[in-house]
């Protein structure tokens, strides 16, 4: 609706719109428009797009520029007459998010600025199975500290931390309830990291790595579908469900456990206690075993080198590797088709190890969804390959921090002013 002052905000029925909440919503509206615009946008264009008055837009933009969330480009002339317009873009020179990832065979950290550029990245291939959580979290905390120092050296303020973990997470508490491949249960990751890293007052969000990987895909591909299922193959297999460019978490935040969907009633026993789960047929170790490649050697090499071995064997024409990938692709296609039949999602993105293995896996997935998705005859299911690659989860974890700022810039501006005032 349009109020008398020209503010395009919708009031909550039965409640008067308070002036400060109106301003908060309009700040977010303007910042989101600037972030989503394919090219730098002017104040006049923002006024036209939002329905706000030019004076209101100018005041809001000045606030966002003053808080280093928006930057102004050199004025450009869009029409032969009139004043040249100043293009507005996200300012990536001050505000950033930190993402860290604990996975089965590696840990990682990265800093992404508000404009979406990766400013720092560290990955250590190191098998975490059998490690006590305190030891892993101490290593990740040290990584996070190095990342924050690198960000500070580049003049960036880290606004928060996203932590990607391979298991079920209680949201918003951040307790990792169960990570079958690590053998961890009921671990308060947020507390362990905050204590060990000296991360101070930074807000920490813990979520499943497959959820963050889906967000990472959204961040790295501006043409990403607004609704899709993102499937990440690692040693475990997880999925993130994206609806209208937002993650769908389920009632308790535990959605997306596609790796434990049964695809073979009498299949091999899974670490979760069930049998015939997808990850026992399409996870990294299942593919290695079926291809006759050594699993223990792979454990020492780390994820990317391991996938490289599978790719190399497939390119060499190894019939056994091709059969292993066909079987994995079919199992994945069956699980994906079931999910799409249930949720009516128009496409699937293959991430993690499935991205480099896509030449062999994707055709099998496509064949199974074409056969099994009821609506495929009228609306074919798009099978795409991830653009974010193996960094998707840690990118998404960092991107989740900057997305939260875009959603509520006023809240970040309050915290920023407080931090600048106390000099941290
Ligand atoms: Zn299972």
pLDDT on residue 297: 58
pLDDT in tens, the chain (424 residues): 333 334 444 445 555 556 678 899 999 999 999 998 888 999 999 999 999 999 999 999 999 999 999 999 987 766 666 667 889 999 999 999 999 999 888 899 999 999 999 999 999 988 888 889 999 999 999 999 999 999 999 999 999 999 999 888 987 788 999 898 889 999 999 888 876 655 767 889 999 999 999 999 887 777 778 899 999 988 889 999 999 888 898 888 888 999 999 999 999 999 889 999 999 999 999 999 999 997 765 554 556 678 899 999 999 999 999 999 999 999 999 999 999 999 999 999 999 999 999 999 999 999 999 999 999 999 999 999 998 877 899 999 999 999 999 999 999 999 998 888 876 5
- CA of 107 from ligand 1 middle (Å) equals 23
Residues with Cβ < 8 Å from 362, sequence gap 6 or more? 329, 350, 354, 383, 385
Q: Are 362 and 314 in contact (CB under 8 A)?
A: no
List the one residue out of 198, 50, 108 whose CA is nearest residue 392: 108
Q: Cβ(232)–Cβ(348) under 8 Å? A: no
Positive or negative, the CA dihedral 242, 246, 249, 253 is positive
Strand partners, 385: 350
Torsion 341-344-346-352 (CA) sign: negative
Coil, strand, or helix at residue 311?
helix
* Secondary structure of 48-81 in HEC code, one letter for each residue: HHHCCCHHHHHHHHHHHHHCCCEEEEEEECCCCC
Tell me, in angstroms, the distance from the centre of ligand 1 to residue 257's CA. 9
CA of 280 to the centre of ligand 1 (A): 7
- Rounded to the nearest angstrom, the distance between the alpha carbon of 96 and the centre of ligand 1 is 36
| pLDDT of 211 | 92
CA of 277 to the centre of ligand 1 (A): 5
pLDDT tens, 252-284? 888 899 999 999 999 999 988 999 999 999 999
248 Rama class: left (phi>0) / alpha (psi -120 to 50) / beta: beta
**From ligand 1's centre to the CA of 320, what distance in Å?**
25
Rounded Cα distance between 306 and 407, Å, is 39
- What pLDDT digit, counting tens, does each position of 47-68 carry? 999 999 999 999 999 999 999 9
Write out pLDDT tens, residues 361-410. 999 999 999 999 999 999 999 999 998 877 899 999 999 999 999 999 99
CA of 325 to the centre of ligand 1 (A): 20
- Ligand 1 center to 133 CA (angstroms): 21
Ligand 1 center to 270 CA (angstroms): 5
Element (H, E) at 119: strand 118-125
Question: How far apart are the CA of 376 and the centre of ligand 1, in A?
Answer: 28
Cα of 238 vs centre of ligand 1, distance in Å, is 11
How many angstroms separate the alpha carbon of residue 291 from the centre of ligand 1? Answer: 21
- Cα 335 to ligand 1 centre (Å): 13
């Amino acid at each position: 609706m349009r109020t008398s002052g020209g503010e395009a905000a919708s009031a909550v029925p039965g409640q008067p719109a308070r002036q400060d909440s109106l301003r908060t919503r309009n700040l977010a509206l303007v910042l989101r428009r600037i972030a989503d615009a394919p090219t730098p946008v002017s104040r006049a264009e923002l006024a036209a797009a939002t329905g706000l008055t030019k004076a209101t837009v100018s005041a809001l933009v000045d606030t966002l520029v003053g808080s280093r969330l928006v930057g102004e480009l050199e004025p450009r002339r869009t029409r032969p007459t009139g004043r040249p317009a100043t293009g507005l873009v996200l300012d990536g020179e001050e505000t950033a998010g930190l993402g860290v990832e604990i996975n089965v065979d590696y840990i990682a950290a990265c800093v992404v600025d508000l404009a979406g550029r990766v400013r720092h990245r560290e990955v250590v291939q190191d098998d975490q199975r059998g490690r006590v959580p305190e030891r892993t979290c101490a290593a990740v905390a040290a990584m996070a500290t190095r990342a924050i120092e690198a960000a500070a050296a580049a003049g960036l303020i880290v606004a928060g931390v996203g932590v990607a973990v391979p298991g079920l997470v209680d949201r918003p508490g951040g307790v990792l309830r169960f990570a079958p491949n690590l053998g961890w249960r009921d671990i308060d990751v947020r507390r362990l990291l905050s204590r060990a890293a000296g991360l101070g007052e930074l807000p920490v969000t813990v979520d499943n790595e497959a959820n963050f990987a889906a967000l990472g895909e959204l961040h790295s591909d501006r043409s990403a579908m607004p609704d899709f299922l993102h499937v990440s193959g690692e040693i475990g297999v997880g999925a993130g469900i994206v609806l209208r460019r937002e993650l769908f978490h389920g009632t308790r935040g535990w959605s997306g456990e596609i790796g434990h969907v049964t695809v073979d009633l009498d299949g091999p026993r899974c670490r979760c206690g069930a049998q015939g789960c997808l990850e026992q047929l399409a996870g990294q170790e299942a593919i290695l075993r079926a291809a006759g490649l050594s699993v223990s050697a792979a454990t020492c090499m780390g994820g990317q080198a391991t996938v490289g071995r599978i790719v190399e064997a497939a390119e060499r024409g190894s019939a056994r590797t091709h059969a292993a990938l066909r079987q994995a692709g079919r199992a994945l296609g069956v699980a994906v088709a079931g999910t799409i039949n249930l949720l009516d999602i128009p496409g699937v993105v293959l991430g993690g190890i499935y991205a480099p293995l896509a030449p062999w896996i994707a055709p099998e997935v496509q064949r199974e969804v074409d056969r099994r998705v009821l609506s495929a005859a009228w609306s074919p299911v798009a099978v795409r390959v991830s653009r974010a690659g193996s960094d998707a989860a840690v990118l998404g974890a960092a991107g989740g921090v900057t997305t939260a700022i875009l959603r509520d810039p006023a809240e970040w501006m309050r915290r920023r002013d407080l931090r600048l005032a106390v000099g941290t």
